[in-house]
Chains A and B, each alone.
Chain A
Amino acid sequence: MLNPIYEKWYSMEERFVTISFHHLLSDRLIRRDALLKDKPFVLVVKQRGRIIVKAVNAVAEQHNIRAGMMLADAKALCPSVTVFQYAEGMEQVLLSKLAEWCLRFSPDVGVASPDSIVINASGCTHLWQGEEKYIDTIARQLNAIGYQVTIALADTIGAAWALSHFTSSSTIIKRGETTTAILSLPPAALRLEDKIIQRMQKLGMYQIRSFIHMPRQVLRRRFGELLLLRLDQVLGIVKEVIEPICPVQPYQERLPSFEPIRTAIGIEIAVRQLLHHLCLRLQKESKGLRRCVLKAYRIDGNVQQAEISTSRPSRDVQHLFKLFEYKIPTIEPALGIELFQLDATIVEALTSEQETLWNIAGNNDSSAIAQLVDNLCIRLGAGAVKRYLPAEHHWPERSVIITHALDEKPSTSWPDHLPRPLHLLQKAQEIIVMVPLPDYPPVHFKYKGAIHKVVKADGPERIEEEWWIEKGMFRDYYCLEDQDGRRYWIYRLGHYDNSEPKWFIHGYFA
């Protein structure tokens, strides 16, 4: 059962592009070393004690060397052939990189092993003034960087794949003409297993037309379920989806530029436009963003990123732009940026009531403070800004919790009946004391080499270690005042049993 939303989505007329690379691996090597262009070379891999040719270049192909041959046979055909080692997973890495590069043509791009890339071109081609120009641009740009490709554009992924692999030049199949276009192709164009293809050849089925009209149950009995599935996929009876190389962000804005952008002002304009569109959408859906990533795709394939986050959901273009303003100098345009993409990675509800309450568009106090905090966080890091809230613990170190949210309310009240110092040492420091009697406050104590004579004292206040959190001894706290009026908070750890208990200074009273 399909979700109604998806049904609506599917009802849109879809178009798919498949890019088939002729010599993916060898073109990559030529890109690295241009001198290889006119030499025959192969990539080999060791398999069951034999050395097998894994990939060949165009020149080697002219010498009738094919992938799957043994290296010895290839050398017999062309003694001057150069040999390179093939590393496991090379084409996967290469294809996913190329697929990322293809994101400029459509947000929905996937890899189809072993040698092609699938692009969902629905609703994208008009930006390049038509389908011919769309695939022309893709082919030209890939040729320019050194890859020989065949591109096909069709209604289904299956048909596009078949045509890109079994025709010599790039093709476009018009809407609804899929069936006629694939009739003359061999069965291998259906992405079948070798076993099925061989069986079909034995039976003289060299083209799809020879079995496409056969009854389904006959085909199922002879060739299995896979053939029927593939046929349905090619004809669009069964939907096939691309496994996207990068999942489409729900809140995303893209801005391709006519000419590569290299200046800070250009980037600023792009960011403003993207934010404007994004905030309009957020406004419609009563949402505000908490975190947002700007990606700048450069001509040379590099992607520059800048990330901002806010302390409270916001859809104020001015404010968000100001946060990006600090980050723009970190973006290196190099030769130029051709695509800007803005992803709102964390989005939270922000209703218009909340907005009027805080007067986010205007210059209300809390929004001004939120904006200040965001500015500070951008430079100092998100952890730098904090607030303290009371926690229901007596143990001093746990009685206060840190929060980074501006609006979090205390869940309990601050203790006001017990003496607590204004300064608390991060780690209590050991002191040497003189105590006349057990459970009495010290008469004097020595801290950092200085002796302090105690004039007034309060205590003890016993604070037990919370055994359900941590095991340890209790503390007996005393408030002391020395001859100069300086006030200290000290404690004794544990009982007077066999040994002398240790004393620590833990804070200063104002």
Chain B
Amino acid sequence: MCMEQAARKNIIQQLQKEILALQGFKASCGNDKLNTGLGLIERSFPNYSFPTGAIHELLSYSEPDAAATNGFLAALLSRLMAKGARAIWISHKQHLFAAGMSAFNVMPDQLIFIEVQKEKDLLWATEEALKCDAIAAVITECSDLSFEASRRLQLAVEHSRVTGFIHRYMPKKNNPTASVTRWRITCLPSMTDENIPGLGFPVWNIELQKVRNGTPGTWQLGWTTEGFNHIQVNKPIAQPYLRKVV
């Protein structure tokens, strides 16, 4: 009986892996698994690894939160660009301050910035960039993303295995998209020791609102010079909801 149960479980695991592969998630073997340093959060993803070669969607509704979201993206970029690869950052306005990026271990001169005025050109440039497999990641800042546009982008990355981040600032409507994840990052009071005055390391509330074939959840994450740092905040903002996927 026990043998039979184990065999059945094995079959289900196998099938789940196949479904993931069909949906564009490549099961990563030990070597090419990206070390994002996200720690606990990685357990929410399919195959327990951060989905590279996929479209991630991030929402922000205020300027400080947009900065926090870009900070989180910059921190992720530092890991994606670890092997000297280059990334492209597409936006419609020039608000990123390159001198502030080195705090996230990103060398701003390794990034290529593209400033596009028209929304249509913005998505076109994103798609072109996502098709180029020589690039580690593409970050696009826009406000709205239709389902069709997100499908196009997702199809482009499934072919090229580039990781795409769509940062939607002040989206007019919260429409469904074909992206693999949807995040919302907001500011939290910074990490300081009780006795030291002044600002500390940034802390963000990371809300994984949607993840395909994974488990959504909320975490508090700090960024220090060593990397991401999970912290215990005295006042819990939302209970982390963690469950094993497979």
Contacts and interface: CB of A to CB of B under 8 A. Distances in A.
Interface residues of A, number: 52
Interface in A387-444: 387-390, 396, 399-400, 406, 409-410, 414-416, 419-426
B202 A510 contact: yes
A422 B133 CA distance: 28
A415 B95 contact: no
Nearest to B225: A416
Nearest to B121: A380
A387 B111 contact: yes
A415 B223 CA distance: 18
Interface residues of B, number: 56
Contacts of B116: 380, 384
A505 to B, nearest CB: 10
Nearest to B99: A420
A510 B68 contact: yes
Given A486-B187, A510-B68, A379 B121 contact: yes
- Secondary structure call for the B interface: mixed
B104 interface: yes
B190 A420 contact: no
A425 B67 contact: no
Contact of B114 (A376, A480, A486): A376
A69 interface: no
Given A415-B99, A420-B99, A456-B192, A508 B109 contact: no
Contact of A510 (B70, B85, B112, B192): B70
Interface stretch (A211-219, A361-369, A465-473): A361-369
Interface in B64-91: 64-68, 70-72, 74, 85-86
B133 A368 contact: yes
B97 A376 contact: no
Contacts of A481: 189-190, 199
A424 B202 CA distance: 17
Interface in B105-127: 107-109, 111-116, 121, 124-125
A375 B124 CA distance: 11
B132 interface: yes
A384 B132 CA distance: 18
Nearest to B204: A510
A485 interface: yes
B134 interface: yes
Contact of B103 (A399, A406, A416, A508): A416
A369 to B, nearest CB: 5
Contacts of B94: 426
B164 to A, nearest CB: 14
Contacts of B121: 379-380
Contacts of B18: none
A496 B102 CA distance: 34
Nearest to A409: B109
B135 interface: yes
A424 B102 CA distance: 14
Nearest to A383: B115
B40 interface: no
B30 interface: no
A369 B86 contact: yes
Interface string A242-282: 00000000000000000000000000000000000000000
A74 B149 CA distance: 77
Nearest to A416: B102
A422 B199 contact: no
Contact of A415 (B86, B102, B132, B135): B102
Contact of A457 (B102, B124, B125, B198): B198
A458 B200 CA distance: 10
A384 B125 CA distance: 11
Contact of A372 (B64, B97, B129, B187): B129
Contacts of B93: 426
A427 to B, nearest CB: 11
Nearest to A423: B67
A385 interface: yes
A372 B99 CA distance: 26
Contact of A388 (B108, B202, B204): B108
Contacts of B103: 416, 419-420, 422, 510
B203 interface: yes
Contacts of A457: 198-199
A485 B109 contact: no
A508 B112 contact: no
A479 interface: yes
Contacts of B109: 387-390, 409-410, 414
B192 A508 contact: no
B4 interface: no
A422 B100 contact: yes
B63 to A, nearest CB: 6
Given A416-B102, A426-B95, A507-B97, A484 B113 contact: no
Interface of B: 62-68, 70-72, 74, 85-86, 93-104, 107-109, 111-116, 121, 124-125, 128-129, 132-135, 187-190, 192, 197-200, 202-204, 223
12 contacts: A364-B134, A368-B132, A376-B125, A379-B125, A383-B115, A387-B108, A422-B104, A423-B63, A424-B96, A424-B100, A508-B64, A510-B202
Nearest first, the 10 closest Cβ-Cβ pairs linking A and B are A510-B71, A388-B98, A424-B97, A486-B64, A508-B67, A368-B134, A365-B134, A485-B189, A420-B100, A414-B102
Interface of A: 364-366, 368-369, 372-373, 375-376, 379-380, 383-390, 396, 399-400, 406, 409-410, 414-416, 419-426, 455-458, 479-481, 484-488, 507-510
